Amino acid sequence: MDRMEPLNEIFKRIGQTSSTRNTLSDSELEELTSSEEPHCDVCNDTRWFVVAPNENAPASARKVIPCQCQERVWGVKPTDRMRQYSDLGPLERLTFDTVELGTRDTFSEPSSFREAYHAAQRFVTDQQGWLVICGPSGTGKTHLAAAVGNALVESDQPVRYVSVPDLLDHLRSAFDPAVGAQYDDVFLQAIEAPTLILDDLGAQSSTAWADEKIDQIFTHRYNRRLPTLVTTGMRFEELGDRLRTRLGDPYFSTVVNIKAGSGKPDIRDSGLESRLSEAMTFDSFTTKGAAGASAAQQRSLSEAHAAAKVFAEHPSGWLYLAGPTGVGKTHLAAAIVGESIAQGRDVLFRFVPDLLDDLRRSYGPSGGKSFDHTFSQVRDVEILVLDDLGAEASTAWAEEKLYQLIVHRHDSMMPTVFTSRTALETIGDSESRITSRYSDAIVSRLSDANVVAERYLSAPDFRHRGAAPRPRSTGGRKSSRK
């Protein structure tokens, strides 16, 4: 697609009443298309007009219309160019007609969603002030934002839609001389858009540079009273002071909150793959073990299975499932996730090395979500399942993040499940893997018998079809936990 014509030249003349002449003779059009550098005397090559009743008219009274020359210059009709400028792309399918306003509350609470729906429709009609839509992920914020954009395009009103993380990525890339777009053009397309839709504020990586760019956009548009729609997955009170000052101006801005629905959580939101949730259930777990399992090994599987079921039915304290590879620790952890979802509980399953990788990436410019958002989601979830503790790369940074996570959930007595190849009974042994790997503060909380219940699964590896498991360490004191 051709590079979009920036609107900065239009707004240099925005205080002036533009000519309403927007017709070209056939000879003029022919000259326009045959010229090596197409020139239009009507719009002076801006390709747009700003029409206003007078030079002091507010933004809501000004109208931006395309010049007829666009069809010959870009090979598209002005209405098509308007849609290209909007950058709605695949979101063209999301309109007010496709919004469901029934009584189902699976994703969002119906009355709060209807309030946001009607506020979005008023924004299309009035095109004044700012509209801020807050709400958790999956409640329909982006659908309403896209519906506003598509409605404005259908009424021939220029609107620019962009997600905040994408906008910041484009601004970063514009610094690279190898990229065609210039930084000023990209920035001005956002800062001076006649109507701007900023989706997913708060999902960007939080850096001083990113905060500065966002502040510049909002300050510019706030001072000039340019119509702006913002969606955010953050609570309004979680936004920074400067953002709240502008977004919450009661004389200029409307803030609506969409509440989460009371429907059951979706397994896809738990972090556990659907195929694992379907295969790894309590019913499919065999307490007989693989071929060659002794009576004692089968008993360890039965005890772990029973403990996991009790935890899933009445989540409380911490459950620590230990044992060698392939004995069913992750199976029982996944079964706990599935049962928690069935009960409508908020649960999150994370493989520890992947979790730490995600946290590291959230620091970088390509991070889809800020570190604070990613970390708080794990730290504060109702039930957390951490799979394969101890498999992560051992670094001071990784230990610090685990320390913060474990301390918070221990102090708050939040239900947590750990799986690990390291038994807790070796804590206190200076040569044990877990004692040498983690700080005393982490070890102390994991060994708290008042909070943590450990079950050790001792059986042949299911994946080896009956091969004998690696021997369990016998060093150190015996655990008093059952």
Average pLDDT by consecutive 10-residue portion of the chain (482 residues)?
A: 42 37 46 51 64 62 63 57 80 88 70 93 90 88 94 89 83 58 64 88 77 87 90 84 85 89 62 78 85 86 94 94 91 92 86 86 56 80 92 81 90 93 71 62 88 90 53 41 36
Per-residue model confidence (pLDDT) at position 427: 60
As a 3-state breakdown, the chain gives helix, strand, coil percent values, each rounded to 5, of: 45, 15, 45
At 241, which helix (H) or strand (E)?
A: helix 241-247
Q: Which of 323, 289, 347 is nearest to 465 (CA)?
A: 289
pLDDT at 386 (0 to 100)? 95
Burial class (CB in 10 A: 0-12, 13-18, 19+), 220: middle
pTM for the full predicted model: 0.47
Provide the Cα torsion 21, 23, 24, 29; round to 10°: 130
3-state secondary structure of 300: helix
Counted residue by residue, the chain has a size of 482
Q: Taking Cα atoms as reference points, which of 155, 246, 229 lies closest to residue 195?
A: 229
Element (H, E) at 417: strand 416-420
Question: By CB neighbour count within 10 A (0-12 exposed, 13-18 middle, 19+ buried), where does 22 fall?
Answer: middle
Nearest to 156 by CA among 85, 95, 224: 85
Question: Which pLDDT value is given to residue 368?
Answer: 45
What is the reported pLDDT for 287? 86
